[in-house]
Every structure is written in structure tokens, then in C-alpha cells.
Chains A and B, each alone.
Chain A
Amino acid sequence: EPEVTQTPSHQVTQMGQEVILRCVPISNHLYFYWYRQILGQKVEFLVSFYNNEISEKSEIFDDQFSVERPDGSNFTLKIRSTKLEDSAMYFCASWSLLNTEAFFGQGTRLTVV
């Protein structure tokens, strides 16, 4: 069964450092998303991406965040200068309109120290 894969599973970084979270969506999907979840709480939308551009973003997704699909398979989330409050589980999701439901990766746990 196809699945969304995310790497790394856990990333520890120092405050102020840049991190890149990587995702490989399901191959025939066209819509991609990043969500985050702080300490087992609510799952919050960050950004959606389609046709090589951002289609929607939340107020959380400020200038320190960026997304990219550099090679047609990977989908990355970059946080330029991490803050303690960026510590969370980050989930990548993808879907195609044929499915209507989104498929989520296992998540990357980001710990900022």
C-alpha cells in the first residue's frame, strides 16, 4: 500500500538553527500539506502546496517557514531560525482528488533546545 514517508523521525536542534523536514508524498498525489501538533494536542494546519506553489497558509506559517518541492518527489519544510515554541510533531500529508481523504506520514518530532 502506498504511503507518505517522512524523515527524520526525530530531530533535535539548537534554538536559532535552521532545520529541514523532508517528506515523500504518494507518487500520484498532487496536493501536499504540512501540519503540526504540539505535545499530543490539536493538529494545526500550516500550509498547502499545489502546482509548485503555496495555495494556502495559516497565520502560524510566518516568514521563518518555507516549503519546496525541489525534485518532483520530495516535499520539504524549512524553518530558518528555530524557536523553542517550534518544538512539535510535524506531519506531511498528500492527497489526490480521486481519494478525498488525506494520507499522513508518521511525522517528524522536532525538539528545539
Chain B
Amino acid sequence: AQSVAQPEDQVNVAEGNPLTVKCTYSVSGNPYLFWYVQYPNRGLQFLLKYITGDNLVKGSYGFEAEFNKSQTSFHLKKPSALVSDSALYFCAVRAPSGNTPLVFGKGTRLSVIA
């Protein structure tokens, strides 16, 4: 069975500082990994994905994530945080075969303080 762990409920960072939101996963075989962001009272917006290839993937709004197979991690990063990045971030995984559904972590609330 697939699972995702986001160990931090809340991450606080000062504007302009780098941010990291942590994610570890468990899945059989090579994973498909995703990050989604949810702004207040909004839906889930796709940020980036890792399917194969380069371990460092770049996504929307200056976010990037690094796939680490040995540590089964897929941490989300941004070099310089903005107040507008404050939101709820979800890591998700699915197995590559067929129509398997996304499994989400519990989410991490990011607060960027001016």
C-alpha cells in the first residue's frame, strides 16, 4: 500500500529566507510523486511532479523538489519565500501502474512572515 508522511504540521519562515517542506513516501516500485498547494477556500493546485529522470524537478512559482530514492523523500523547496506562498501544501504519491489513485499526506501549513 502507498503512503505519504509529512512530518511537520506547520512551517514558519521569514520572507526572503529559503523554505523546505518535508515529505517521505512508501510505494511499491518506482513512485510518481507530486506536490499540490491549497490556498484558503480553494481547490488543489498542481505545483510539480517527479516521474523519472533528473532528481531535481522545478515547478510553478519558483518551487522545486528533490527526489531522493535512498531516503524515500521528496522535499519541497524554494530559495526565497514570499508572503504569498503562505498556504497548505500536500505531497502525494501514486504507483506508476494503470489507474492507481493519488495518496496524499496530511498536509503542511506554510506561513511566511513579512
Name which of A12-20, A39-47, A63-71 contacts chain B. A39-47
Contact A104 B88 (CB under 8 A): no
Interface size on A, residues (CB 8 A): 23
Contact B101 A100 (CB under 8 A): no
Contact B102 A45 (CB under 8 A): yes
Closest B residue to A106 by CB, please name it: B43
Q: Separation in Å of the A51 CB from the closest CB of chain B?
A: 9
Interface size on B, residues (CB 8 A): 23
In the assembled complex, which residues on chain A have CB atoms less than 8 Å from the CB atom of B43? 91, 104-107
Given A91-B44, A104-B44, verify A33-B101 contact (CB < 8 Å): yes
Residue interface bits B70-113, CB-to-A below 8 A is 1, else 0: 00000000000000000010101000000111111111000000
**A-B pairs under 8 A by CB, number:** 55
In the assembled complex, which residues on chain A have CB atoms less than 8 Å from the CB atom of B32? 100
Q: Separation in Å of the B33 CB from the closest CB of chain A?
A: 10
Q: For the complex, what is the distance from the CA of A45 to the CA of B3, rounded to whole Å?
A: 12
Q: For the complex, what is the distance from the CA of A5 to the CA of B44, rounded to whole Å?
A: 12
Q: For the complex, what is the distance from the CA of A100 to the CA of B43, rounded to whole Å?
A: 18
In the assembled complex, which residues on chain A have CB atoms less than 8 Å from the CB atom of B101? 33, 45, 48, 56
Q: A42-B104, A43-B44, A104-B36 are in contact. List 6 more A-B contacts (CB 8 A).
A: A43-B92, A43-B107, A44-B104, A45-B101, A102-B102, A103-B46
User: Which residues in B have some Cβ–Cβ distance to A below 8 Å?
Assistant: 32, 34, 36, 38, 42-46, 49, 51, 88, 90, 92, 99-107
What would 17 A/B residue contacts be, using CB atoms closer than 8 Å? A40-B88, A40-B107, A42-B104, A45-B102, A45-B104, A48-B99, A56-B100, A93-B44, A100-B49, A100-B51, A101-B34, A101-B49, A102-B34, A103-B46, A104-B43, A104-B46, A106-B42
